Structure 1
Amino acid sequence: MLRVLAVDDEAPALGELLYLLRADARVRSAEGAGDATEALRRIGRALESGQGADEGTGGPDGIDVVFLDIHMPGLGGLDLARLLGGFARPPLIVFVTAHEGFAVQAFDLKAVDYVLKPVRRERLAEAVRRVHELVHATAQTPTPEQIPVELGGVTRFVSVDTIAYVEAHGDYARLHTDHGSHLVRIPLSALEERWAARGFVRVHRSHLVALARIDELRLDGGTTSVRVGDAELAVSRRHARHLRDLLMRRAL
């Protein structure tokens, strides 16, 4: 079961969030903090007392997840998340905010979810489910990276593992996944750098492809293309040799 810390400077919002969290059967305990400084003190006290050292889940502070507001006096939620990210085993982060414009920063900080206020019980339960699955995954299973996408005014997080290829759209990128496509405000060059270690390779100025999703490499009259699911993508001449080498090494 989860040990939760909720952080919000607005007392009514914090009280409602704690009420909903404590009503969830997957939550073992839920404490509240009125600002980031108080949250750090609580985490520090837990570190000193060594809570959770025998359970193997969550951070060394005994807190599995922090549900965190963004706009707070003094140290903001994004700043607190960055500080927590420096821990050897940081707690997971779920942002709970009235502002839609910080999803990219949440992505950079590897947040598990991004819940908009006013908080709906069903939406919060989905965030708790995501956290619960991650906390109780085996230690050998790496946490899948997720990227925020907007769907009908709701921010969802899509696992990078479900993305087959990415298409450039100026300063945006369109993610083609197993279940559709999503436009995100991140340039293709940034995703290329970030996901190189995850097996994504640039095949064209307009396309970044998951190497493991390439079904066929086609050579036709001096032109090269790859088939990824139902899509056939052109491979530029400058990327063709490198791509062939990668596919050959993968086949060996």
Structure 2
Amino acid sequence: MPSENPLKILIVDDEPLARARLRELLGDIAVQLPSAVVGEAVNGLAALDFLRENPVDVVLADIRMPGMDGIELAGHLGALAKPPAIIFTTAYDNYAVQAFDLNAVDYLLKPVRAQRLLTALHKVAAAPPLNPELLGSIGQAVRGSGRTHLSCQERGRLLLVPVAEVLYFKADLKYVTARTIEREYLLDEALTHLENEYAERFIRLHRAVLVARSALAGFEKAAGDDAEAYGWALLRGVPEKLPVSRRQWAPAKALVKSA
């Protein structure tokens, strides 16, 4: 690789010593493979904030990090205009096979060695796309829960939606709307996938609606001639009512009574 075109690298790790170690190693191999560390981040959220304005060629990301881990970060990278390649770093060798299942460029076991880093970076040009079907399941295995954020494109920009702030998901044609107190977001997600990923946080009210358990305030029966719903769910913090199917009416009401 010519020296005038060094690899632009973002280092993502919550441990300052680990970031410093990677910087040092990149300096050690600079003759064989020129690179420039253009930024550092302490977790996936900070990394995505940086990447919105600063495209890079490679992300060196730890797998276990607070706030947003490396696996979830990898899932959001595909929504960027120019997705960078990702190389995972980890102290846990049991993630190695999973990293390759995802089609990550490579994984580096800590403490990272210069030659292994060089080998991994040489693979960047031929890196295949990440495997999105495995990202969710492997991420849940890493953190024991679903993604902390969902991503969407709005006017050419990547937006992150904190799952903890979502009141409900509503399917409409090929998109799903996520509603928070402040606003709505259009997601390219499947409602059934969201239902499986967040089974402990959301329940189904209707074939097209999932609602956060904590958002339910009460219910009212629909008018006899209302073809859209058997009943309506009332929510905390927003005026909208959500349709409840006959099948979900009793389970949903029982949930509110037991809260």
TM normalised by structure 2 equals 0.49
Distance apart, 1:156 and its partner CA: 2.5
Does the aligned pair in 1 maintain the 2:101–2:131 contact within 8 Å?
no
Structure with greater Cα Rg:
2
Partner of 1:237: 246
Counterparts in 2 of 1:183 and 1:220: CA distance versus 1, 3 Å: closer
Contact 1:103 1:155 in 2 (8 A): no
Unaligned runs of 5+ in 2: 1-14, 47-56, 75-83, 88-98, 109-128, 225-229
Q: Tell me, yes or no, if structure 1 residue 159 matches structure 2 residue 162.
A: yes
Alignment of structure 1 residues 1-252 onto 2, 5 Å: 2=16, 3-4=18-19, 15-16=35-36, 18-21=37-40, 58=65, 69-70=84-85, 78-80=102-104, 108=136, 110=139, 145-197=148-200, 199-221=201-223, 223-228=230-235, 229-250=238-259
Q: How many residues align?
A: 166
Match in the other structure for 2:90 = none
Matched letter for residue 103 of structure 2: D
Runs of 4+ more than 4 Å apart: 64-68, 75-78, 81-84, 101-107
**Contact between 1:175 and 1:181, CA under 8 Å: does it hold in 2?**
yes
Gaps of 5+ in 1: 27-33, 44-56, 85-100, 112-141
- 1:83-113 CA deviation, whole Å, 9 max, x = no partner? 78xxxxxxxxxxxxxxxx97966973659xx
Distance apart, 1:235 and its partner CA: 0.7
2:189 is paired with a residue of what secondary structure?
Answer: coil
Q: Are the structure 2 counterparts of residues 65 and 169 from structure 1 closer, same or farther at C-alpha, using a change threshold of 3 Å?
A: closer
- Quote the Cα distance in structure 2 between the aligned partners of 1:82 and 1:181: 37
> CA–CA distance in 2 between the matches of 1:163 and 1:246?
18
What is the one-letter code of the residue matched to 1:70?
Answer: A
Query: Partners of 1:186 and 1:106 in 2: how far apart?
Result: 15
**Separation of aligned partners in 2, 1:249 and 1:217:** 14
Q: Is the 8 A contact 2:100 2:106 kept in 1?
A: no
Rate the CA distance shift 1:206–1:245 in 2: closer, same or farther, 3 A: same
Normalising by structure 1, we get a TM-score of 0.50
Of all paired residues, the percent bearing the same amino acid is: 19
Structure 1 residues 210 and 242, CA gap change in structure 2 (3 angstroms): same
2:101·2:134 contact (CA, 8 Å) conserved in 1?
A: no
Letter aligned with residue 198 of structure 2: W
3-state DSSP of counterpart to 1:230: coil
